[in-house]
Amino acid sequence: MKLGKSKNKSKAAKLIIDNKTYNLPIYNSTEGESVIDISKLHSQANIFTYDPGFTSTASCESKITFIDGEKGILRYRGYDIEDLANKSDFIEVVNLLIYGDLPNKKQLKKYKNLISRHTLLHEQIINFFQGFRRDAHPMAMMVGVMGALSSFYQDSLDINDAHQRQEATRRIVAKSATIGAMSYKYSIGQSFVSPKNSLSFSENFLHMCFSNSAENYKISPLLAKAMDTIFILHADHEQNASTSTVRLAGSSGANPFACIAAGVSSLWGPAHGGANQAALEMLEEIGSSKNIHKFIKKAKNKNDPFKLMGFGHRVYKNYDPRAKILKSICQKVLKHVGIKNDPILKLAMDLESIALKDKYFIEKKLYPNVDFYSGIILRAIGFPPEMFTVIFAIARTAGWTAQWTEMTEDPIQKIGRPRQLYTGKKSLIYGKNRSKKNTR
């Protein structure tokens, strides 16, 4: 079905500027907020709209993911995240996100086979890794190697060829786990472990991270399931910063590997995917439940840049449904690895309970988000904090490639080119008014 056809034009908004009325069409969504179409406003009224941070702007039409932030609902292609986390697996979710429907058994088997055929990396990429410093953050390697894939897989760069587009999405998803595991191995000075295609996506990732030439890592089904659930929960989240970055990069016609590398960069920031690492580091800094009030006070202080990491969300004004699922997995994983009373988990739960009773957090509707508990689970599985955002990036390749595919196939897609409110200097004459001070 062609995008754009589904827009249900029902009413119009009226905008009056200097006594002139402009009728702006309103389109209804299937669920959630409607949108006002302002795309003709500049040509009709010679004015722009202003919305830094896009707090009231829908940047595209999409059929992939739905979020109801007030109710705490997240759905991929119509399926509740809880259902998918309990009943599906990551590769089935990738297939669902990209193709729009759940695959049947035969389709899924074929798709899993296609993905596993792409887990290996070109041998020369190993040389590429040697160029990084050993103390490089694994996300730095993720950004670099993801972009470098465009130089190795030149037969899947033509965005106008449907087969090449699909091949690129499969390569990105499959190779992201291998790149992520190699970044980890490189950072700890161990040799790379080749993928094993007889394993599931999540088992294989654990195998590539934790096996070594001296001993085979015994994959625990419970930890593999926890890993898989983490991948499912992070797979997509509609038009967040990194996904919008992928779409904006792709809107110029850039190749898919370059676009996903742009998404990885955007994800790295502590306000986005980097929050899982930051949340665990914050818990370690708080150290003990007796210090919670001091840190809550810091978080509420307008003059202090400190924020409670893993708390708050642009869209959720209720408990993040992903955090709810992770909180319940957390206990099981800790028990399984033999951590009876994890002081960090106790601290996290105490912090949550104190913050949720605090007037500031209640009024601003700040709840734990996906990054609050994920770090505790990943640490129990054996990952250092630097790997948390890498794992988020591996999972999000599913959403990024699905959103990139949807955008590329959208007949009304055009290059993204926001405008600005210019507040700089007016025309100056070169050479006049040159500063006499040497302060810079």
Q: Site size for ligand CMC, by CB under 6 A? A: 20
Q: Closest CB to ligand CMC among 13 and 271? A: 271
By CB under 6 A, name the one of 92, 203, 342, 371 that touches ligand CMC: 371
> Is residue 319 a contact partner of residue 366, using CB atoms and an 8 Å limit?
no
Q: Could you give the count of Cα atoms lying within 13 Å of 304 in the half-sphere of its Cβ?
A: 11
Q: Which of 313, 342, 350, 358 is catalytic?
A: 313
Is residue 275 part of the contact set for ligand CMC (CB under 6 A)? yes
Is residue 348 part of the contact set for ligand CMC (CB under 6 A)? no
Q: Closest CB to ligand CMC among 42 and 364? A: 364
Minimal CB distance to ligand CMC: which residue?
Answer: 312
Is residue 367 part of the contact set for ligand CMC (CB under 6 A)? no
Is residue 394 part of the contact set for ligand CMC (CB under 6 A)? no
Is residue 244 part of the contact set for ligand CMC (CB under 6 A)? no
Helices (H), 100-235: 105-116, 123-130, 138-152, 162-188, 201-210, 221-233
Is residue 351 part of the contact set for ligand CMC (CB under 6 A)? no
The b/e string for 223-240 (b: 16+ C-beta within 10 A; e otherwise) is bbbbbbbbbbbbbbbbbb
Whether 371 is catalytic is yes
By CB under 6 A, name the one of 109, 110, 117, 314 that touches ligand CMC: 314
Q: How far apart are CA 27 and CA 391, in angstroms?
A: 37
Is residue 362 part of the contact set for ligand CMC (CB under 6 A)? no
CB of 323: closest distance to ligand CMC in angstroms? Answer: 9
Rg (CA), the chain: 24
> Is residue 156 a contact partner of residue 172, using CB atoms and an 8 Å limit?
no
Q: Closest CB to ligand CMC among 206 and 264? A: 264
Q: Closest CB to ligand CMC among 47 and 271? A: 271
Q: DSSP secondary structure string, 30-74?
A: SSS--EE--TTHHHHHS-----GGGTT---S--SSEEEETTTTEE
Q: Which of 89, 228, 342, 371 is catalytic?
A: 371
Q: How far apart are CA 99 and CA 308, in angstroms?
A: 37
> Is residue 201 a contact partner of residue 91, using CB atoms and an 8 Å limit?
yes
CB of 283: closest distance to ligand CMC in angstroms? Answer: 12
Q: What is the set of active-site residues?
A: 313, 371
- Interaction site with ligand CMC (CB under 6 A): 237, 240, 271-273, 275, 299, 307-314, 364, 366, 369-371
